[in-house]
């Protein structure tokens, strides 16, 4: 049928997606306000809490602080690219018209969100690498290759629910308010989910409601990945995180489509 042109020019979706992801990454990497806190804060907190304040003593219930906090601060770290990288940048793109232009251009439908997801996963991998290095060098952490791999996968895929929450936020909140709102969600959620202070050290009431917070579930998965004591079933935590991802993603989509149309 299509033999009129010998070498018909072809659209290459792969190249398009790759460029989109690369530029999304460059955009954030060139924004010190985003990448410095994202990469430095988890590292600083880990050094402070796990290395300087704990001298290799075993914690309660068979936990090893260096390893325990490697998991929980890792989870704290991967919340950032999702909530801030996704949330704030979507709010900005929506408000300034970049999203509208991209929808008008023949950009493949999934490229915009796909690129942002890939960017968030890349940042998660970077946070994993930084914390892993600090844990090994300063925290005396020794893990099997399999445990490292499990932690990496948990953190890289663990960004997804936070990307969905960030997307939802970016679809609704103005660009100016987005960082503040993201912080309002981020900091309390990290604390109540037991990322900074082990849950066992929190009041009983907070321990009871901890499963309400999405990072709690990811933290349990991360702890299990590095063979630390964790509660609940792996499948249960994965299901909750998947459900959060789906719900927020779907809720954000409709809103974004309307925003791109310029009618909101």
Partner 1 sequence: MSSPVSASPARLSDVCKHYGAVVALDGVDLHVQGGELLALLGPNGAGKSTAIALCLGLVEPDRGQVRLFGQSPRLLSVRRRVGVMLQTAGIPDTLEVGELLAQTRSYYADPLGIDECVQRAGLEGLLNRRYGKLSGGQQRRVQFALAICGRPQLLFLDEPTVGLDVQARASLWQTIRALVAEGCAVVLTTHYLEEAEALADRVVVLAQGRIAASGSVTQIRARVSQRRIRCVSGLPTDTIATWPEVRSVCRDGEHVEIVTGAAEVVVRQLLFEDADLSELEVQRAGLSEAFLEITREAA
> Nearer Cβ to partner 1, position 3 or 12?
12
Q: Confirm or reject binding of residue 103 to partner 1 (CB under 8 A).
A: yes
Task: Give min distance, CB of 80 to partner 1, in A.
Answer: 18
Alpha carbon separation from 14 to 27, 43, 114, 131 (Å, rounded):
20, 34, 12, 32
CB neighbours of residue 137 within 10 Å: 10
Q: Which is nearer to partner 1, 149 or 261 (CB)?
A: 261
**Looking at 43, 47, 54, 95, which residue binds partner 1 (CB under 8 A)?**
95
Give which of 8, 26, 10 is closest to 18, Cα–Cα: 26
Total number of residues binding partner 1 (CB under 8 A)? Answer: 34
Instruction: Specify the residue, 12 or 57, whose C-beta has the smaller distance to partner 1.
Output: 12
Question: Of the ranges 54-62, 64-72, 89-97, 191-199, which one interacts with partner 1 (CB under 8 A)?
Answer: 89-97
Binding mask 5-34 for partner 1 (x = CB under 8 A): ---xxxxx--xx--xx--x--xx--xx---
Chain residues in the site for partner 1 (CB under 8 A) = 8-12, 15-16, 19-20, 23, 26-27, 30-31, 92-93, 95-101, 103-109, 260-263
């Amino acid at each position: 049928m299509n033999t009129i042109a010998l070498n018909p020019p072809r659209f290459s979706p792969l190249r398009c997606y790759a460029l989109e992801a690369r530029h999304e990454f460059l955009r954030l990497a060139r924004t010190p306000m985003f990448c410095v806190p994202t990469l430095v804060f988890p590292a600083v907190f880990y050094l402070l809490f796990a290395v300087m304040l704990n001298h290799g003593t075993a914690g309660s219930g068979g936990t090893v602080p260096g390893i325990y906090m490697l998991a929980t601060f890792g989870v704290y770290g991967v919340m950032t690219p999702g909530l801030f990288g996704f949330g704030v940048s979507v709010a900005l793109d929506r408000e300034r018209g970049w999203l509208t232009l991209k929808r008008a251009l023949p950009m493949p439908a999934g490229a915009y969100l796909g690129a942002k997801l890939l960017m968030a996963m890349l940042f998660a991998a970077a946070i994993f690498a930084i914390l892993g290095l600090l844990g090994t060098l300063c925290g005396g952490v020794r893990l099997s290759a399999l445990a490292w791999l499990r932690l990496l996968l948990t953190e890289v895929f663990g960004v997804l629910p936070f990307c969905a929450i960030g997307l939802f936020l970016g679809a609704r909140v103005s660009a100016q308010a987005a960082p503040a709102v993201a912080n309002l969600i981020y900091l309390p959620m990290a604390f109540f989910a037991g990322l900074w202070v082990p849950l066992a050290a929190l009041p009983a009431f907070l321990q009871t409601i901890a499963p309400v917070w999405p990072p709690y579930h990811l933290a349990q998965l991360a702890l299990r990945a590095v063979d630390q004591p964790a509660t609940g079933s792996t499948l249960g935590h994965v299901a909750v995180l998947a459900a959060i991802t789906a719900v927020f993603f779907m809720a954000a989509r409709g809103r974004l489509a309307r925003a791109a149309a310029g009618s909101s």
